Structure 1
Amino acid sequence: MTVPTDVVERLRDPARVAETAAELAELRAPDLADLFNQLRVTDAAALLAALPLPQAINVCDQPSLRRRARLLEQLDPDRAAAILDGLSADERTDVIQHLSDHHRRRLLPKLSPTGRAEVEQLLRYPDHTAGGIMTTEFVQLAPTVTVGEALQHIRTVAREKETIYAGYVLEPGTGRLLGAVSLRDLVVAEREQPVTEVMRAKPVTVAVLEDQESVAHKIAKYNLLAVPVLETEGRVVGFVTVDDVIDVLIEEQTEDLLRLGAVEPGALDRPYFDNPIARVVRKRIGWLLLLFVAETFTGTVLRYFESELAAVVALSFFIPLLIGTGGNAGSQTVTTIIRSLALREIGLRDAWRVLSRELSTGFIVGVVIGAVAFGRALLWGTSVPLAATVSITVLAICTWSTTV
């Protein structure tokens, strides 16, 4: 949604901030998050401070809300800590990871003991792993309970949990995973049945240090709403939900697109206008310099054939066409291969098959475009030998570009 001009003006008037916040509090949290993203940090922080605490927590719990850490840094520490305490464990940890060291030291002691313990546990795991994106608020079930007792237990703890997709049956004492049971399975089962008869004894799991992209592929492959996260000894420490995976896929696809455009990953970690120009230049300049140096070899080749070009000046007219065709053919191949790698349709074991396939594709494309280039060269009034030279060169360039 677009921010009305009068809203911005009222937020900059301290006497009208509370009135504006009361009007906007009726919006849904995702819509409010969109509105916050369009405001300056100072204006957004003023609105966040004036919203009712439950609404402020709901807004900050939206993964789509950008600059969460910067917003909380602008607030009174007690207000910021109250908001952090209300967030789900994974979102709370994500925000704290982006706080400056000064603000982190200031806010962590103000969290509740439970919230602080969860944060300290999750901060032990590296970014981009299952442990780094999981939530620790899962439903634990004993193997001795019945379906009816399990449902009653879920009703009791539901208010304390972020999301409940399933219950995990754990071995008493060790916390090892014995099985998982979905809410649907519990609802359709008889209340007197032991939960061990309803649970799935060997559910899909992920390791706590497993890469987040691998976790996303498992959830997509097995069509799961959530997947339990295990320590090395098989103890459940949390679970990753499908909404966490959506964020991961967006992040990974952004990273792939940046690499495709010869931009270092991390260039879009912040909103476009929040990225300092110096940081943007640093992320782009490396690859641009490398490509620039590589392309200077084109000049070396042209100088080597300077006498031939001087003898047949018409050849120089086709140089931009040939270079552009080779670049376009190569870009198509790179895009196709990177996308297939990202979807795990191909791997290193398929290298020779991919090579032969792209060689065949490049040759056929080169024949077609070479025939068009031959006709176009004749229309420009060149001789048949020169047109044939251009045509054969196009064939060679297309074959080479798609293969190498």
Structure 2
Amino acid sequence: MMTDTRINFQRLIKERAWTTLKTELTKLDVPDITYLIEHSNQLHSIILFRLLPGEEAKEVFRELHPDKQGEIINGLAHHASRLSDLMNNMDPDDRTALFEELPGKIAQQLMQLLSTENLKKTTQLLGYPEESIGRLMTPQYVAVKLHFTVAETLQHIRRFGKESETLDIVYVVDQHWKLLDDLPIRDILLADPDEKIEDLIDHKLVVLNAFDDQETAVQIFKDYNRVALPVVDSTNTLLGIVTIDDIFDVAEEEDTEDFHKFGAMQNAVINPVLATVSFLYKKRVGWLLVLVFMNVFSGYAMSQFENVIETVVALVFFLPLLIDSGGNAGSQSATLMIRALAIGDVRRQDWIRLLSKELAVSLLLGITMAAGVSLIATWRAPDIIPVVALTMLATVMVGSMIGMLLPLIFTRMKLDPATASAPMITTISDIMGVLIYFSMAKWFFGL
């Protein structure tokens, strides 16, 4: 459906039917407009964006990929007033994220278009370390003092709340802007108008530090089920807030990064459609070359059992099935472990209990799969049933152990557990599978 819509808009642009184009554009919601611009060429993207009203343009621009944002900015370079409005009307955290992605020269030019107040906010946010909560926070919130009555607080919210990122939470500060507590707007609305704020607070406060890693914020939001959290410095001065929508974005980026690492594509861009061939090549070739050299060990291991293979040729038929089963079991185990580590369900000190549980599970899996491969061997080569059955049991258990332990080992070494990627686990499991299989056959047949 969106493909047909895109073709229709391309036709309207070519026909220069600007009035019709603008009318049709207003019928679409923000996600559809974003998709349309993302999948249009630079000229068409700029035309479509320029036809959007101010508020809608702001929302669409925020959702665009940084590369497409750069195209829009370049296209608006000769329209300083429109570009200035766009930059100054963006939320501070979104504007900071944009400037981080742009080349330094372009970012510097755009910063010259900002108002004095917005420039101060942006440079302050950019001063925090990359991936820190300080880069994520927004200074747009509502804060009140202890001596405010509920009536005064509501009047204060009406006056200053329009620019706030969220009105669900109101923050309580002292005369020096030290954070004292936060109050849900529900508590304020249900309180007596003459009641004071100091009578409503309970001092059950959860805060984020501006220099903490963004992943810390993700975990705290999960633990405390909040829609927004205050950000403070080392002196407990309120600097800004982080809202749940920003946390969703960070969590999605982290999950995608872990997925890329698990598939041996560490640091790959989120959108491969916009990545260049050379970029994707460089991100993948190094890891694959490492695996090539690791797989040499599999070939070397097989060469040590040439006499076994020549004597019992039927062993070769089951080799791919057995070693793939071990690798698959390891990948399954690793996927579960990496996810559990990422969301905090598993800690490093749990490894002994996990090991015993994984041994029990892998034993049951191995027995089940050994029974399956035995049925196949009954048809193909009945004389090697004990060998393939025992090998299947052993490779599934070994593969599962590798898949469970590698993420824990990487965590212990203070490395990202997602680095224990599927190809690495599969390759190690393959080597172990070859050694187990032919050693078992050599022992069984007395060769």
TM-score (normalizing by structure 2)? 0.85
- 1:190-269 alignment, distance < 5 Å: 190-265=192-267, 267-269=268-270
Match of 2:99 among 96, 100, 107: 96
Aligned to 2:356: 356
Q: Which residue of 2 is the match for residue 146 of structure 1?
A: 149
Letter in 1 for 2:157: I
Whose RCO is larger (CA < 8 A, sep 6+)? 2
Structure 1, 284-293 or 24-33: larger mean CA deviation: 24-33
Matched, 1:286 2:250: no
Amino acid at match of 2:211: L
Structure 1 gaps of 5+ residues are none
2:166, 2:67 → 1: CA distance? 22
For 1:334-349, what aligned pairs fall within 5 Å after superposition? 334-349=334-349
Shift of 1:168: 0.9
Q: Report Cα offsets for 1:346-369 as digits up to 9, x if no partner.
A: 111112222222222222211221
Please name the residue that 1:373 is paired with.
373
Q: Report how far residue 67 of structure 1 moved.
A: 2.6
Equivalent-residue separation in structure 1 for 2:17 and 2:50 (angstroms):
13
Partner of 1:38: 39
Residue equivalent to 2:401: 403
* Sequence identity (%): 30
1:59–1:65 Cα contact (<8 Å) kept: no
Q: What is the SS of the residue equivalent to 2:171?
A: strand
Could you tell me which of 118, 122, 125 is aligned with 2:121? 118
CA contact (8 A) 2:6 2:36 kept: no
SS, match of residue 169 in structure 1 = strand
What is the aligned counterpart of 1:166 among 164, 169, 179? 169
Q: Could you list the per-position Cα deviations for residues 45-98 of structure 1 after superposition, in whole angstroms to 9, with x for gaps in the alignment?
A: 222123232331232234788732332232134322210111111111111211
Higher mean C-alpha displacement, 183-192 vs 254-263 = 254-263
Q: Does the residue aligned with 2:397 lie in a helix, a strand or coil?
A: helix
Give the number of aligned pairs.
398
1:25, CA displacement in angstroms? 3.0
1:219 alignment partner, SS class:
helix
Contact kept in structure 1, 2:209 and 2:233, CA below 8 Å: yes
Corresponding residue SS for 1:4: helix
Aligned mates of 1:131, 1:72 — CA distance in 2: 25
Given residue 201 of structure 1, which amino acid in structure 2 is its aligned partner? H
3-state SS, counterpart of residue 112 of structure 2: helix
Taking the aligned partners of 2:42 and 2:61, their CA distance within structure 1 comes to: 14
User: Structure 1 residue 302: deviation in Å?
Assistant: 0.4
CA distance in 2, matches of 1:8, 1:399: 57
Is 1:277 equivalent to 2:277 in the alignment? yes
Residues 83 and 244 (structure 1 numbering): CA distance in 2 closer, same or farther, change over 3 Å?
same
The structure 2 residue matched to 1:390, chosen from 388, 391, 400, is: 388
For 1:189, the equivalent position in structure 2 comes to 191
Q: Secondary structure at the residue paired with 1:229?
A: strand
Instruction: Report the 3-state secondary structure (helix = DSSP H, G, I; strand = E; otherwise coil) of the residue aligned with 1:111.
Output: coil
Q: For 1:229-287, what per-residue CA distance to the aligned partner results, in whole angstroms no more than 9, with x for missing partners? A: 1111111111111111111111111112112212113x133x33210011111111222
- Cα distance in structure 2, aligned partners of 1:158 and 1:19: 37
Q: Given residue 86 of structure 1, which amino acid in structure 2 is its aligned partner?
A: N
Aligned to 2:143, what secondary structure does the other structure show? Answer: strand
Residues 73 and 80 in structure 1, CA contact (< 8 A), matched pair in contact too: no
8 A Cα contact 1:85 1:111, kept in partner = yes
Cα distance in 1 between the residues matched to 2:6 and 2:123: 41
Residue type of the alignment partner of 1:351:
W
Say whether the 8 Å CA contact 2:128–2:211 is kept in structure 1.
yes
Per-residue CA deviation, residues 196-215 of structure 1 (Å, 9 max, x unaligned), is 11134231111112221221
Gaps of 5+ in 2: 403-447
Q: Greater CA deviation, 204-213 or 284-293?
A: 284-293
Deviation at 1:17? 4.2
Change (3 A) 1:226 1:34: same
What secondary structure sits across from 2:230 in the alignment? strand
Superposition CA RMSD, Å: 1.9
Corresponding residue number in structure 1 for 2:313? 313
Contact kept, 8 Å, 1:130 with 1:215, in 2: the verdict is: yes
1:135 positional shift: 0.9
Amino acid corresponding to residue 118 of structure 2 in structure 1: G
- From the superposition, tell whether residues 64 and 147 of structure 1 become closer, same or farther in structure 2 (CA, over 3 Å): farther
Specify the alignment match of 1:59 in structure 2. 60
Change in CA separation of 1:277 and 1:21 when aligned onto 2, cut-off 3 Å: same
Q: CA deviation at 1:338?
A: 0.8
**C-alpha distance in structure 2 between counterparts of 1:105 and 1:192, whole Å:** 49
Question: 1:134 Cα deviation (Å)?
Answer: 1.2
Equivalent AA in structure 1 for residue 327 of structure 2: G
1:8 aligns with 2:6: no
**Does the 8 A contact of 1:70 with 1:99 survive in 2?**
no
Assess if the C-alpha contact under 8 Å between 1:30 and 1:64 holds in 2: no
Listed one character per residue, the Cα deviations across residues 10-54 of structure 1 (whole Å, up to 9, x for unaligned) are 3355x4346523431343333322322222233112221232323
